[in-house]
Amino acid sequence: MRGLINNTHMLRETTEADILKGYHLCKQISEAIHVPIVYNTCQESLVEKLQAACAKEGIEDLTIYPMKLYMRPTWMDKR
């Protein structure tokens, strides 16, 4: 099976609006190249908010793949 994955994220700064923005872009690409979107990644903590935002926008084809972050909090700190 081949397909696109919308993996829009800004680590802990990600919002459901960010994921939806990425979804809309990915949807345009999907339609242009005739390859389906198979997953939209989402932090587990945002799943309910993303589902509510999809319902509000009438989006029915956004398949959520919940993920956990396993990065140490200071990984971007300068040394």
CA distance 22 to 50: 12
The total of structural domains in the chain comes to 1
pLDDT attached to residue 72: 62
| Residue 27 covered by a domain | yes
Q: Residue 42: which of 15, 13, 65 has the closest Cα?
A: 65
Within a domain: 31 = yes
CA-only gyration radius of the chain, Å: 14
Look up the domain containing 17 and give its range: 4-67
Give the model's pLDDT for residue 17: 97
Strand order in the sheet with 37-43: 4-6, 37-43, 64-67
On the question of pLDDT at 76 being above 70, the answer is: no
The span from the CA of 67 to the CA of 79, in Å, is 29
Counting residues of the chain whose pLDDT is more than 70, the rounded percentage is 89
* C-alpha atoms less than 13 angstroms from C-alpha of 42 in its C-beta half-sphere: 26
Classify residue 36: in a domain, yes or no: yes
Residue 78 lies in a domain: no
